[in-house]
Amino acid sequence: MEAVAEKLAIKGGEFLIRETNAREIFVPEEFTEEQRMMGDATSDFIEKEIHPIAEKIDTLEEGLLPSLMRKAGELGLLGVNLPEEYGGLGMSFNTSMLIADKIGAAGSFSTAFGAHTGIGTLPILYYGSEEQKKKYLSGLASGEIMACYCLTEPDAGSDANSGKTKATLTPDGKHYLISGQKMWISNAGFADLFIVFAKIEDDKNLTAFIIEKEFGGITMNDEERKMGIKGSSTRQIFFNDCKVPVENMLSDRENGFKIAVNILNIGRIKLGGSAVGGSKTVADLALKYAIERKQFGVSIASFGAIKHKLAEMAIKVYAAESAAYRAGQDIEDKIDSLIAEGMDDAKAKLKGLEQFAIECAIIKIHGSEVLDYVVDEGVQVYGGMGFSEEAPMARAYRDSRICRIYEGTNEINRMLIVGMILKRALKGELDLMGPAMAVGQELTSVPSFETPDLSQPFAEEKEVIKRLKKAVLMVAGRAAQNFGPNLNDEQEILMNIADMVIEVYGAESAILRAEKVQELKGADAARFHEMMSKVYLSEAVDKVNVAGKEAIASFIKGDELKVMMMGMKRFTKTNPVNTKEMRREIADFMVEKGTYPY
């Protein structure tokens, strides 16, 4: 019971200042039979309905994508997270993460799916009135109604609250007239329902509205010609005195910006989960090609350089997957604890997601950048064929690139990570400054020569992670002290610190997963888990070191610079591991299995 109580007390961002026990986290190996069956059904749907017509989907044939969405609705995939009373399946948050993972293999369809089930549907579930929920959610769950989310404008991208779309109350007080332009709207071409953000009069913040296509006053540009996800509908939308009943205001006046921020948290972590699924698919394709492709009379999968690429794909996916489901379960546990305390179900879900907004941003960045790495190396494994439209890598390469842009660019998300951590520290919600000051004192003290108890699983690796956290605290704490509120203007430093935070979370998640699998299934079953987590940690140490030194050198001088550089050296000290041999073993294991092994 103590472990459970401690787990429920975990706060977002707290991983930086406390040690996490492997028993506290969720690992994919713990999915129930029911959850696995749901995942398998999703994979079967993609394999049978999406992959055979991928090229046809990319032509944007009228009616094709909506018909596929309705088929997904028939299987229950559009309503995984929706309560049964509104036509959904009422499944857990991490189950929806599993579905997002599987859908990640579906290219353009995954964008349409994510836009509909996430940012198109969840604003109504979490913020809608009971009447609005009853009116719209069952149709959204079945696919009878298609949804899109209209936030971005030509002059309002990352700064969403600066949007110029206006909502004017009619003289009789029964309608709002919505006028303005929205762009980059996924699903716009076939949507029946629009979640639209506009400002009423001179309000500082946005207000959200539910707009039906039948209300009129809506026109669109032609479909955007995009680099990738060509089969997804993306159009500009113009609202011209669109007449919206006052009862279709979503939540309260000026609550739109809060809605946008909270819904994007969900979109971010789900995108990260989807990127994991896409990465697995591409890694599998590259592996199969490497096994089949012969050069100099042997399979290229037997070459050391190719083994390195195959293993690195698996290692990075392993860490991203571990982090995604760890964060997903933390969110789920928080939601459950809030509901147990008597909080309304929808409000509890929002509060749970808001609590772990830092982790949501981490998962989005990490997952999307792992995907980009995997597709790039996938093209390289295919060689000349990788550059051909006849092979699957060209589409994967184009499709992946958007993931670092939508749901908030990775640059914006990096700055959000650090900003949210420091904001919570200032509010007293996260005791960051105490540990940061302790690290500062440690810099001028005699180094401890105590060694960890190596009889415990992963003891040495956990000590490394502890030191990496100290490196983050040292840099972040000193930067906050030096710049104060002006730290927001030091974007390069913010991104350095964010890179350190992301690598710490990814490495710790991988190590904890390997430890838990070892505990659940034994050392033999966890052997390759152990190797992948150790290689990832070795690489993470170097990345933390580089980012930390770059940040320190940008604002510290003289003797203090020397002291902090010595601190970075101390905190990123680790015993070398033979990563070459580990990668070779991992690659050989993949070849034996014929797939990404986990």
**pLDDT tens for the chain, residues 1 to 598:** 344 444 545 899 999 999 999 999 999 999 999 999 999 999 999 999 999 999 999 999 999 999 999 999 999 999 998 999 999 999 999 999 999 999 999 999 999 999 999 999 999 999 999 999 999 999 999 999 999 999 999 988 777 788 899 999 999 999 999 999 999 999 999 999 999 999 999 999 999 999 999 999 999 999 999 999 999 999 999 999 999 999 999 999 999 999 998 898 889 999 999 999 999 999 999 999 999 999 999 999 999 999 999 999 999 999 999 999 999 999 999 999 999 999 988 899 999 999 999 999 999 999 999 999 999 999 999 999 999 999 999 999 999 999 999 889 999 999 999 999 999 998 989 988 888 888 988 888 776 666 767 778 899 999 999 999 999 999 999 999 999 999 999 999 999 999 999 999 999 999 999 999 999 999 999 999 999 999 999 999 999 999 999 999 999 999 999 999 999 999 999 999 999 999 999 999 999 999 998 8
527, burial (CB in 10 Å: exposed 0-12, middle 13-18, buried 19+):
middle
Distance CA 328, CA 93 (A): 7
Cβ neighbours of residue 423 under 8 Å, at least 6 residues apart? none
Give CA–CA dist 310/378, Å, rounded: 9
This prediction's pTM: 0.95
455 Cα distance to chain centroid? 35
Shortest CA distance to 280 belongs to which of 253, 251, 316?
316
The alpha carbon torsion through 299, 305, 307, 310 (nearest 10 deg) reads: -110
Q: How far apart are CA 549 and CA 471, in angstroms?
A: 10
Query: What sections of 430-526 are H helices per DSSP?
Result: 433-443, 459-483, 491-521
**Do 153 and 165 meet the contact criterion of CB atoms below 8 Å apart?**
yes
Pairing of strands 147-150, 218-220: unpaired
What are the φ/ψ torsions at residue 313 (nearest 5 degrees)?
-60, -50
CB 392 within 8 A of CB 321: no
> In this structure, are residues 187 and 232 in contact, taking their beta carbons and an 8 Å threshold?
yes
Chain center to CA of 314: 18
DSSP state of 156: B
| Token pair for 237 | 């939308």
Q: Quote the Cα angle for 42-31-143, to 5°.
A: 30
H helix count then E strand count, the chain? 20, 10
Residue 215 structure tokens:
């209300």
Contact 358, 13 (CB under 8 A): yes
Q: Go through the domains of the chain in sequence order and give each one's CATH number.
A: 30-145 (1.10.540.10), 148-253 (2.40.110.10), 257-412 (1.20.140.10), 426-593 (1.20.140.10)
Whole-angstrom distance, CA of residue 123 vs CA of residue 81: 13
Write out the H or E segment, with its range, that includes residue 561.
Answer: helix 558-571
Q: 529 vs 281, 310, 517, 590, 593, CA distance in Å?
A: 19, 15, 8, 12, 15
**8 A C-beta contact, residue 473 and residue 439:** yes
Is the CB of residue 26 less than 8 Å from the CB of residue 328?
Answer: yes
Cβ contacts of 210 within 8 Å, gap of 6 or more: 124, 128, 132, 136, 193, 194, 195, 196, 244, 248, 250
3-state helix/strand/coil string of 91-125: CCHHHHHHHHHHHHHHCHHHHHHHHHHHHHCHHHH
SS (H, E, C) 161-178: HHCCCEEEECCCCCEEEE
Q: Give the pLDDT of residue 9.
A: 58
Number of Cβ within 10 Å of residue 220's Cβ equals: 15
Tell how far CA 474 is from the center of its chain: 27
**SS3 assignment, position 154:** coil
CA distance 559 to 245: 66
543 and 559 Cβ atoms separated by less than 8 Å? no
Secondary structure of the chain: what % helix, strand, coil (to 5)?
A: 65, 10, 25
Q: Which of 14, 369, 407, 490 is catalytic?
A: 407
* DSSP notation for 402-427: GGGTSSS-HHHHHHHHHHHHHHHHHH
Is 463 annotated as catalytic?
Answer: no
- Identify the residue whose tokens are 């769950």: 141
DSSP string, 222-235: PPP--SS-TTS-EE
Q: How far apart are CA 110 and CA 114, in angstroms?
A: 6
| Angle separating helix axes 527-553 and 558-571, nearest 10 degrees | 180
